């Protein structure tokens, strides 16, 4: 048994989440079924014991009818050697019970009502079972204490509780070991897939760096036609780099989820920093980007500030890209019902069809052909939201486009206690941030403002709506 549990513990250290949930559900079902079966058995067994007492009482009354003098002391002792004693009373026409044996407790009037049906009543602070039988103008009454039957029932329930607990623990451990062993090939395949994605993303970064360096040198030449072509190639190279960076981030997040290190952050401050950072991007798209809030003080939540900054970057970048030229993007922070703090991003773009919302966070899924994203941005955003305990709410904006809301449990600050420093980057950038969180280079701004726009090849940012 010790080796069995040691095996279970060693397997749990690998990746226990799914197998533990399955084992817990199995153990819970077994526990419920065991409890139902035990309760049913206890009821049936208790009724059987009471019926045995009733049969014994009727037998004593039958003997009493044959021997009106009552059983002798020897007969009574022999009858009571393995069970509780049976007490006998004679109830006359006056209704006063008269004991027929020595040491028989007094049966007060009203304790037993004249009836041939078995009844249960309290006598001397103990539960008794009584059976009566007509005898001339009166009654013969036999009674026996149910204390012994109750003690047996309590001992049985205690044994069931102890045995049931051990049984459920064994079932949980067995289901966990079986589940982990059965899922080992799947987990191994998943691990290899994640390692492949991470390795491939890492290997692709080096040639992309070389390509971008060569393009930078070529763009500095005097040939304007070649320079325009190189600008477009450079934009596509930058887009490919952003896709690789996003893949690398997702692979690292899946294989090694970040450890919780939440702190109290002010969402208003983070949103203001994000609005300033994306002002250049919004102007390059000719989009009106604004920020507002209706709170009278800080709106705080508990989460890593760099994760929330990453999330804001994805949402604002997507909104700017899909709002369209001359469009509007609004970023807001507001307390919501249920004591939650929410970040809201709205745009005037095409919106998100209800049929597409179920797959909105699937990787490489795009709900619209507008824009040039790869469909990884909201997959990153969803990973951040899930890891920080947030909730999504997706709907339609009064601006005509999408309304993306993420909320967390709001933290109420004590008076005089400031939130944590919110900007995770001293220079406004974050290492390995998703593409939406990066500033535009001068070449990218120039291309988006005029060179590539007529050809419909604006350099895309992190994909949205899938």
CATH number of the domain that 298 lies in?
3.30.565.10
Question: What average pLDDT does this structure show over 326-349?
Answer: 90
Is 427's pLDDT higher than 50? no
Handedness of CA 338, 342, 346, 350 (dihedral sign): negative
Both 278 and 179 in a single domain?
no
For residues 186 and 202, give the distance between their C-alpha atoms in angstroms, rounded to a whole number. 24
pLDDT: is 14 or 131 the higher one? Answer: 131
Q: Give the pLDDT of residue 9.
A: 45
The size of the chain, in residues, is 466
Q: Please check whether residue 357 lies inside any domain of the structure.
A: yes
Both 320 and 382 in a single domain?
yes
**Closest to 368 in 3D by CA, of 392, 455, 436, 359:** 359
Tokens of 111: 């304790």
Is 328's pLDDT higher than 90? yes
Residues 369, 352: contact at Cβ < 8 Å? no
Both 198 and 290 in a single domain?
no
Q: Please check whether residue 108 lies inside any domain of the structure.
A: no
Question: What average pLDDT does this structure show over 390-398?
Answer: 89
Residues 363, 233: contact at Cβ < 8 Å? no
Q: Please check whether residue 323 lies inside any domain of the structure.
A: yes
Both 209 and 299 in a single domain?
no
Q: Give the pLDDT of residue 464.
A: 39
Give the residue numbers spanning the domain of 429.
260-450
Both 315 and 443 in a single domain?
yes
Q: Please check whether residue 252 lies inside any domain of the structure.
A: no
Rg of the chain over Cα atoms, rounded to whole angstroms, equals 40
Q: Give the pLDDT of residue 406.
A: 92
Both 282 and 198 in a single domain?
no
Q: Please check whether residue 274 lies inside any domain of the structure.
A: yes
For residues 330 and 449, give the distance between their C-alpha atoms in angstroms, rounded to a whole number. 22
Both 171 and 40 in a single domain?
yes
Residues 440, 279: contact at Cβ < 8 Å? no
How many separate domains does the chain show? 2
Question: H or E stretch including 306?
Answer: helix 305-323
Q: Please tell me the least confidently modeled range out of 138-142, 205-209, 315-319, 461-465.
A: 461-465
Q: How far is CA 256 from the centre of its chain?
A: 20
Is 444's pLDDT higher than 90? no
Q: Please check whether residue 331 lies inside any domain of the structure.
A: yes
Q: Please tell me the least confidently modeled range out of 111-115, 275-279, 416-420.
A: 416-420
Both 4 and 130 in a single domain?
yes
Q: Parallel, antiparallel, or unpaired: how do β-strands 138-145 and 126-135 relate?
A: antiparallel
* Its pTM surpasses 0.85: no
Both 290 and 351 in a single domain?
yes
Q: Give the pLDDT of residue 415.
A: 57
Both 326 and 207 in a single domain?
no
Q: Please check whether residue 98 lies inside any domain of the structure.
A: no
Is 12's pLDDT higher than 60? no
Q: Please tell me the least confidently modeled range out of 10-19, 50-59, 249-258, 345-354.
A: 10-19
For residues 423 and 413, give the distance between their C-alpha atoms in angstroms, rounded to a whole number. 19
Both 140 and 286 in a single domain?
no
Q: Give the pLDDT of residue 364.
A: 64
Both 279 and 360 in a single domain?
yes
Q: Please check whether residue 140 lies inside any domain of the structure.
A: yes
Q: Give the pLDDT of residue 34.
A: 92
Q: Please tell me the least confidently modeled range out of 57-71, 186-200, 344-358.
A: 186-200
């Amino acid at each position: 048994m010790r080796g069995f549990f040691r095996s279970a513990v060693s397997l749990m250290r690998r990746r226990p989440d799914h197998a533990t949930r399955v084992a817990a559900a199995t153990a819970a079902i077994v526990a419920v079924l065991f409890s139902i079966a035990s309760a049913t058995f206890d009821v049936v067994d208790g009724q059987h014991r009471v019926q045995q007492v009733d049969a014994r009482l009727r037998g004593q009354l039958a003997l009493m009818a044959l021997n009106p003098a009552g059983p002798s002391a020897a007969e009574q002792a022999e009858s009571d050697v393995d069970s509780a004693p049976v007490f006998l009373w004679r109830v006359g026409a006056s209704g006063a019970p008269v004991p027929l044996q020595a040491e028989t407790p007094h049966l007060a009037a009203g304790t037993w009502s004249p009836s041939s049906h078995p009844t249960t009543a309290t006598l001397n602070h103990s539960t008794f079972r009584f059976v009566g039988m007509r005898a001339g103008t009166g009654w013969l009454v036999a009674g026996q204490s149910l204390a012994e039957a109750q003690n047996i029932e309590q001992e049985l329930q205690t044994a069931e509780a102890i045995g049931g607990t051990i049984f459920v623990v064994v079932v949980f451990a067995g289901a966990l070991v079986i589940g982990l062993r059965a899922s080992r090939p799947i987990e191994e395949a998943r691990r290899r897939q994640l390692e492949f994605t991470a390795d491939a993303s890492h290997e692709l970064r080096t040639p992309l760096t070389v390509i971008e360096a060569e393009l930078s040198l070529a763009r500095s030449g005097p040939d304007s036609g070649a320079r325009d072509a190189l600008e477009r190639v450079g934009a596509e190279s930058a887009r490919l780099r952003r896709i690789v960076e996003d893949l690398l981030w997702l692979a690292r997040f899946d294989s090694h989820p970040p450890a919780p290190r939440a702190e109290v952050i002010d969402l208003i401050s983070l949103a203001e920093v994000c609005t300033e950072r994306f002002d250049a991007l919004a102007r390059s798209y000719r989009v009106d980007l604004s920020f507002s809030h209706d709170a009278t003080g800080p709106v705080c939540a508990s989460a890593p500030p760099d994760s929330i900054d990453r999330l804001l970057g994805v949402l604002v970048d997507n909104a700017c890209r899909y709002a369209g030229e001359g469009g509007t993007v609004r970023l807001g922070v507001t307390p919501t019902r249920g004591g939650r703090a929410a970040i809201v991003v709205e745009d005037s773009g095409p919106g998100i069809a209800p049929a597409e919302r179920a797959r909105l966070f699937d990787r490489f899924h795009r709900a619209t052909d507008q824009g040039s994203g790869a469909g990884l941005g909201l997959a990153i955003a969803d990973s951040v939201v899930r890891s920080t305990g947030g909730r999504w709410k997706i709907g339609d904006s009064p601006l005509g486009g999408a309304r993306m809301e993420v909320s967390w449990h709001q933290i109420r600050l004590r008076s005089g206690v400031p939130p944590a420093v919110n900007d995770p980057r001293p220079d406004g950038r974050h290492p390995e941030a998703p593409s939406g969180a990066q500033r535009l280079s001068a070449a990218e701004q120039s291309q988006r403002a005029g060179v590539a726009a007529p050809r419909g090849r604006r350099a895309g940012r992190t994909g949205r709506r899938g």
